[in-house]
Structure 1
């Protein structure tokens, strides 16, 4: 199944997963960019943004759990986010953390917060419509993980 066919499924979990990948890229870039500010609170939030990027990476690209050496507790933590509702909750928490960065003044971390909340909305819509989570094959969804094992 090609990427275009996946988007034509109209399953909101696919949209949430790809929005999550966009959030991953933004969190990584903005976390690095804001870590060089001279405001201590903003540096803390940029480090949290970088941590969010790595958590999202392992959640949205599942075959990385098979090829990267991680601890069993980290694997168990990541495997908790297999449903649309759990992912919506996780993205909401990550977005709230970045919205809290406003206490240090306006910064580009707000862009990460907006994209994270959009991903949460997509996953919540998938949950509300009772759509089963469908992972993109491009990102290592069904089929790719079994080929690696």
Structure 2
């Protein structure tokens, strides 16, 4: 299945996965950009950076095979294999970034919005009863077995 066929499949878990990849880039960039504030928004910047790496390992299953990680971290990441669990983690990460408004309004709001969009995509996939599908481009459905 090519990337275009994946998007035409109308499976919201594919949309959620690709929105998650966009969230990785946004969270990393905005976490770095906002870490230089002289305010306690630094805490939310660090949390944004941490969430970028969590989402990266959730969305790119190939990384669990090629990166040296602990068994505890692997079991934590493997909890998020269903649409509802992914929607839940994205919602939690989004709420954390929305809470950055307590400190001050920064560009971390963009990360909160995109994390919320990914949560909505995964929730829609769960509500519609669509099976979770990993994108082949991101290391799902046989790609990991070919490398090992």
What band does the TM-score fall into relative to the shorter chain?
Answer: over 0.9
What residue number does 1:74 align with?
73
1: distance between equivalents of 2:34 and 2:104? 12
TM-score scaled by structure 1? 0.98
1:47 aligned to 2:54?
no
TM-score scaled by structure 2? 0.99
What residue number does 1:26 align with?
26
- 3-state SS in 2 of match to 1:134: coil
- 3-state SS in 1 of match to 2:102: helix
What residue number does 1:114 align with?
113
Gapped regions of structure 2 (runs ≥ 5): none
Q: Extract structure 1 runs of 4+ deviating beyond 3 A.
A: none
2: distance between equivalents of 1:91 and 1:145? 24
Aligned-pair RMSD on alpha carbons? Answer: 0.5
- 3-state SS in 1 of match to 2:132: coil
Q: How many corresponding residue pairs? A: 148
Following TM superposition, by how much is the alpha carbon of 1:145 offset from its aligned partner in structure 2, in angstroms? 1.1
2: distance between equivalents of 1:2 and 1:104? 44
- 3-state SS in 2 of match to 1:37: coil
